[in-house]
Structure 1
Amino acid sequence: MSIGENIDKIKSNIDLIKKEKGLDYPITLIAVSKTVDEEKVMEAYEHGQRDFGENKVQELTKKESSLNNLEDINFHMIGYLQSNKVKYLVNTAKLIHSLDRKSLIKEMEKRGRNEDFIFNCLIQVNLAKEKSKSGIYIEDLEELLILIENSNYVKVKGLMMIAPFYEDVEKVRPLFRDMKKIYDELRTREFKNIEMKYLSMGMSHDYKVAVEEGSNMVRIGTDIFGKRVYV
């Protein structure tokens, strides 16, 4: 299948779930384009895809620079973000999905003040407490929220989670469900600089379960661009 056909299939699957579950809100598809060349990104773009996710800052900025003639293309930083790379995301990343620690907020504040730029972010939550993954533990979330409320150049637009990989995707359903409960609870509260607009969870292997449990943003690479060899 072509990239365009893959996108259509994913959107069709999402629409079917929305119909079955009676979901009336939009679900944003992030095409994870890490290691994919600009030609394939353009193929997806020409099929109507506008949001693309990158794991590495260098790759994101390279693609943004070469495709910045496309005014409506959006690049998302979805991988672990080192503090010393924050400066490269000024005016390049629409949304940073991996805000997870105080030092990152402090660096964003510094760069934002210098460049008069607002960083829009999602807080990455490591709900399963996997040692191999980044993300803040839920018991530390409140302290991070307080720091964000006192920020001037960091705005939070929701939450992100990377679920553990299970062959049986049903095993991850309880985590998605718990994440949705956390998201919904935060939506009931009044914050400064924080709104719960996006709940980003679900990838190629498990996005259907994530959507069923309330995700409104999915990050899909393999099911769009095919399997890739990482070096």
Structure 2
Amino acid sequence: MNEFGKHWEKVQERIQAACRRANRDPREIGVVAVTKYSDVEDTARLLDLGLTHVGENKVQDAVPKWKVLGDRGTWHFIGHMQRNKVKEIIGRFQYLHSLDRLSLAQEIDRRVRQKEAEPLSCFLQVNVSGEESKFGISPKELEEFAKEVANYSTIEVAGLMTMAPIVENPEEVRPIFRELKRLQKQLQRLDQPRLRVPHLSMGMSQDFDIAIEEGATWVRLGSVLVGGGKRGR
């Protein structure tokens, strides 16, 4: 087994352990392999292991990889999305994890219609921690924003996404993940067909165990899969 294979085996063990603690089924957890620091060859090695969901956060790095490997996986754009880059991901990426403003939703709508593409599955990014350095709408804005986004038939609201602060003790971020779960339930109580928000994209290499315990259905894992000191979402 190669190095990536060993890392993936350990990640699966941790996912299973977190699910046992939370009385959850490991099959509920999707893993996005964050390949922003990986070249085409290493990304292919991850796909070879059966990690079929690939996460990228820079369009200029992602598109060349997609052109080589696009038919081998499901592609997630997980970084901050600039409006002028939307045209590059429509028809290539199935998921966007960072929808955080109405102007971006409008541009997605325009580009999907222009390309006659399938609707884009989007996570609404919420800045639960309130950190100025992070993107995302505030929890107070979420309900109104979600209702606006739901008006676009070209956007499928897949769920909510957040990023927790980087801390030494991962337990400190548990309230962040718990709050995103509460916000998910709040939207679901609206009982609107286009706001089922079934998924929570939360948890990265340093805290995904706790995110799973608090309800994550997608975790975004980089360094814990590929090794090295660089942090991946």
**Contact kept in structure 1, 2:143 and 2:187, CA below 8 Å:** no
Hey, what's the Cα distance between the residues in 2 that align with 1:189 and 1:225? 40
Q: Report the TM-score, using the length of structure 2 for normalisation.
A: 0.93
Hey, what's the Cα distance between the residues in 2 that align with 1:69 and 1:141? 34
**Contact kept in structure 1, 2:201 and 2:220, CA below 8 Å:** yes
- Report the Cα offset of residue 69 of structure 1: 4.2
Aligned with residue 66 of structure 2, among 36, 47, 64:
64
SS in 1 for 2:18: helix
The 5-angstrom pairing of residues 45-64 of structure 1 reads: 45-64=47-66
Deviations 1:147-178 (CA, angstroms, capped at 9, x unpaired): 11221211111000000111111111111111
Hey, what's the Cα distance between the residues in 1 that align with 2:221 and 2:45? 16
Hey, what's the Cα distance between the residues in 2 that align with 1:203 and 1:150? 31
The 5-angstrom pairing of residues 89-100 of structure 1 reads: 89-100=89-100
**Contact kept in structure 1, 2:188 and 2:195, CA below 8 Å:** no
Please identify runs of 4+ aligned residues in structure 1 that moved more than 6 A: none
Q: Report the TM-score, using the length of structure 1 for normalisation.
A: 0.93
SS in 2 for 1:41: helix
- Report the Cα offset of residue 107 of structure 1: 0.5
- Report the Cα offset of residue 218 of structure 1: 0.4
Hey, what's the Cα distance between the residues in 2 that align with 1:228 and 1:57? 23
Deviations 1:113-163 (CA, angstroms, capped at 9, x unpaired): 211221110001001111111111111112211211221211111000000
Hey, what's the Cα distance between the residues in 2 that align with 1:11 and 1:186? 30
Corresponding residue number in structure 2 for 1:78: 78
Corresponding residue number in structure 2 for 1:113: 113
**Contact kept in structure 2, 1:148 and 1:194, CA below 8 Å:** no
**Contact kept in structure 2, 1:60 and 1:75, CA below 8 Å:** no
**Contact kept in structure 2, 1:30 and 1:53, CA below 8 Å:** yes
- Letter in structure 2 aligned against 1:109: D
SS in 1 for 2:204: coil
- Letter in structure 2 aligned against 1:182: L
Corresponding residue number in structure 2 for 1:16: 17
Hey, what's the Cα distance between the residues in 1 that align with 2:209 and 2:170? 9
**Contact kept in structure 2, 1:154 and 1:193, CA below 8 Å:** no
Corresponding residue number in structure 1 for 2:221: 220
Corresponding residue number in structure 2 for 1:185: 186
Deviations 1:56-107 (CA, angstroms, capped at 9, x unpaired): 112221111111342xx01110000000100111111110000000110111
User: What runs of 5+ residues in structure 1 fail to find an aligned partner?
Assistant: none
Hey, what's the Cα distance between the residues in 2 that align with 1:21 and 1:155? 28
SS in 2 for 1:194: coil
Hey, what's the Cα distance between the residues in 2 that align with 1:196 and 1:105? 16
Hey, what's the Cα distance between the residues in 1 that align with 2:105 and 2:70? 27
Hey, what's the Cα distance between the residues in 2 that align with 1:165 and 1:20? 23
Q: C-alpha root-mean-square deviation of aligned residues, in Å? A: 1.6
Corresponding residue number in structure 1 for 2:132: 131
Hey, what's the Cα distance between the residues in 2 that align with 1:196 and 1:150? 14
The 5-angstrom pairing of residues 197-216 of structure 1 reads: 197-216=198-217
- Letter in structure 2 aligned against 1:135: G
Hey, what's the Cα distance between the residues in 2 that align with 1:223 and 1:141? 31
Hey, what's the Cα distance between the residues in 2 that align with 1:87 and 1:158? 22
